[in-house]
Amino acid sequence: MLGEGIIKGMAETAKNFLGSYHDPERMVTVQFPEERLPAKEAARSFPFLVFDGQDAEKGLRCVACQICEKECPPQCIYITKSKDKKPDYVGKAQFYPAVFDIDISVCMSCQICVEVCPFEAIKMDNDVELSNTDRFGGLLLNKQLLAKPNSHFHKIHPTEADEVDGRLAAEKAKVEAKAKADAEAKAKAAAAGAAGAPAPKPAPKPPTPPPA
């Protein structure tokens, strides 16, 4: 019958009309900014640098290896290595970035820098409300703006942060165990050396970076 299809269609729209008043599956509008949906855990917007503890300078995990700068597809990271070194989380002296800039007008949030970082130093933030009135300088985030504490990382990506912490703790435990074994061997060698026979000193192994 001519017109039957249109009438069926109209019944469909009427169902949606009435459904939008009582069925949350139909009326899916969320009135931002008064209501907000909770962010997904994996959501990513732009990178940030993680530091352990309270001091952004002392606890910064980044050692300015510049791997992320090389691997970034649009080349939006600018790093300048420092001249001196500072101790990292296991106590080894490492370089640190004197300048670490990310141009977020270029960054395409691809997360490759996070994947290739061997030191768990750069992670993805999920803040999207980043409007600025300065189109050029305002969108170039420097080290101070990028450095955020580990607690922030735990807040936005709890599962991933726990995993990372576990890995770093395991690394640290391994290094400490090795240092203790080295110290014991040295003490034994010193005791043996005091007895006269020179003991071979095992070469210290550098801590291996955790798998990416």
Whole-Å CA distances, 183 to 57, 89, 169, 191, 204: 30, 19, 21, 12, 11
**If binding is defined by CB under 8 A, does position 43 make contact with other proteins?**
yes
**If binding is defined by CB under 8 A, does position 12 make contact with other proteins?**
yes
**If binding is defined by CB under 8 A, does position 16 make contact with other proteins?**
yes
Binding-site residue total for other proteins (CB under 8 A)? Answer: 42
Q: What does the alpha-carbon distance between residue 158 and residue 127 come to, in Å, rounded to a whole number?
A: 15
**If binding is defined by CB under 8 A, does position 130 make contact with other proteins?**
no
88 within 8 A of 207, measured Cβ to Cβ = no
**If binding is defined by CB under 8 A, does position 139 make contact with other proteins?**
no
- Estimate to the nearest angstrom the gap between the alpha carbon of 182 and the chain centroid: 33
Burial class (CB in 10 A: 0-12, 13-18, 19+), 159: exposed
Minimum distance, C-beta of residue 11 to other proteins, in the bound complex (Å):
8
**If binding is defined by CB under 8 A, does position 109 make contact with other proteins?**
yes
Catalog residues that contact other proteins under the rule CB under 8 A: 1-6, 8-14, 16-17, 19-21, 26-29, 31, 40-44, 67, 71-73, 108-112, 115-116, 124, 159, 212
